[in-house]
Amino acid sequence: MKSATAKIGLVVWLTLVISAGILFPMVAAPQKWYELPIIPGLEEKARIIFFHVPMAWTTVVAFIASTIYGIRFLMTKNLDYDLRSVSAAGLGTMFCILATVTGSIWAKFNWGSFWNWDPRETSIFVLLLIYGAYFALRSAVDVEEKRATLSAVYSIIAGVTVPFFIFVMPRIMTGLHPGSKGDPQGAGPVVQFKMAPNMLLVFLSSLLGFTLLYFWMFNLKVRASRLEFHSQQPQE
Amino acid sequence: MLDFLAEHQLYIVMIIVLMIWAGFLVYLFRLDGRISKLEQSVKK
């Protein structure tokens, strides 16, 4: 995400996706290309999939990126990879908090309470604790090399748990969240990508847009961290 | 206009979301510009 054209393209893309996600009408029998079908049990509340799921997806991308940069740091001992690893983990945590908050608001209207300790809610809470501990670990070590090595090892262990907490655990346990084991709609239209084609298009466009937005934010965060790192080095 | 918005409340949601989105984009573009400037001054 370096050229201005790409950034403006992303802005236009996501603005269209946001507008479509909010404004496309939901009707019982869609006739026109922009009409979305009503998902039983979700109705208008189904619109959250265009925002909440991409946020959770971006969390996964960021945490996996943090793990990969952690591995690369351990292989090369290049501190720039540590900067990238912590930047990715920071953004991942931010997207994770956003996914949790949007999910919680949705839960209030769909399940009647902001927090129900549903397997999906519990798993994302544990994931937040795991990455909270990552930042606690970093803040506890003053020596740069040692901090980078310890947090790289931790980011690998944390990264291994991400697919389990996001994709596996909520699907093997009975819960309220669409896609849980025992969901009355099977795995659910969202989880199995059995959405109507126009809904799927908006959803996949949103996934792509959020992923690209993450790469832009990651680029900015890494560049800002590098400047901060260089400003802390003793001047020759 | 107000009658239209009262009938189509999703437009109000969209206006608020787009305002937040626009504010966030202004922040990102300004941050991008400032970082680029700082990078250039560090190179010199």
* Three-state DSSP string of chain B: CHHHHHHCHHHHHHHHHHHHHHHHHHHHHHHHHHHHHHHHHHHC
pLDDT value at A7 more than 90: yes
* Phi, psi (deg, nearest 5) at residue A174: -70, 130
Chain A nearest-CA residue for B40: A227
Q: Residue A171 — pLDDT band, cuts 50, 70, 90?
A: confident
Domain ranges, residue B25: 2-43
With CA atoms as reference, report the closest residue to A120 among A62, A173, A190, A49. Answer: A173
pLDDT tens per residue, range A72-108? 999 999 999 999 999 999 999 999 999 999 999 999 9
What pLDDT was estimated at residue A209? 96
Return d(Cα A148, Cα A25) in angstroms, integer.
50
Residues 6+ apart with CB under 8 A from B29: A7
Instruction: Say what the pLDDT of residue A133 is.
Output: 97
The nearest CA of chain B is from the CA of A76 a distance in Å of 25
* Cβ contact A189:A195 at 8 Å: yes
Q: What is the spatial distance between Cα A66 and Cα A29, in angstroms, rounded to a whole number? A: 44
Q: Could you give the number of structural domains in chain B? A: 1
Q: Quick one: which of A190, A217, A207 has its CA closest to A13?
A: A207
Which of B10, B31, B42 lies closest to A220 in CB terms?
Answer: B31
- The reported pLDDT for the residue numbered A187 is 47
- Cα–Cα distance for residue pair B32/A168, rounded to 1 Å: 37
**Closest-CA residue in chain B for A223?**
B35
- The pLDDT tens digits for A178-228 are 777 666 655 455 555 567 888 999 999 999 999 999 999 999 999 999 999
Subunit contact A22:B13, Cβ cutoff 8 A: yes
**Over chain B, what is the mean pLDDT?**
90
B 15-44 near A (Cβ less than 8 A): 17-18, 21, 25, 28-29, 31-32, 35, 38-39, 42
CB contact B7 to A (< 8 Å): no
Q: What does the pLDDT read at residue A188?
A: 54
Residue type for position B32: D
Which helix (H) or strand (E) segment holds residue A5: the answer is helix A4-23
Q: What is the pLDDT of residue A95?
A: 97
For A58, A216, B8, the CA distances from A88, given in Å and listed in that order, are 10, 11, 39
How many angstroms separate the CA of residue A25 from the nearest CA in chain B? 9
User: Quick count: other Cβ atoms within 10 Å of Cβ A33?
Assistant: 9
Q: Burial-class residue A81 by CB neighbours within 10 Å (0-12, 13-18, 19+).
A: buried
**Location of structure tokens 């049990």:** A41
* Residue of B5, B13, B17 to mutate when probing chain A, most A C-beta within 10 A: B17
CB pairs under 8 A between A and B: 34
> What CA–CA distance (Å, rounded) separates A191 from A186?
9
CB–CB contact A22 B17 (8 Å): yes
Read off the pLDDT of residues A44-66 as tens digits, 9 standing for 90 and up.
888 999 999 999 999 999 999 99
Interface test with A, best of B11, B25, B30, B42 (most A CBs within 10 A): B25
Q: Point out the residue among B14, B35, B42 whose CB comes nearest to the CB of A230.
A: B42
Residues A122-131 have a mean pLDDT of 94
What is the H or E stretch that residue A37 is in?
Answer: strand A36-37
**Model confidence pLDDT, tens digit, residues A133-166:** 999 999 999 999 999 999 999 999 999 999 988 8
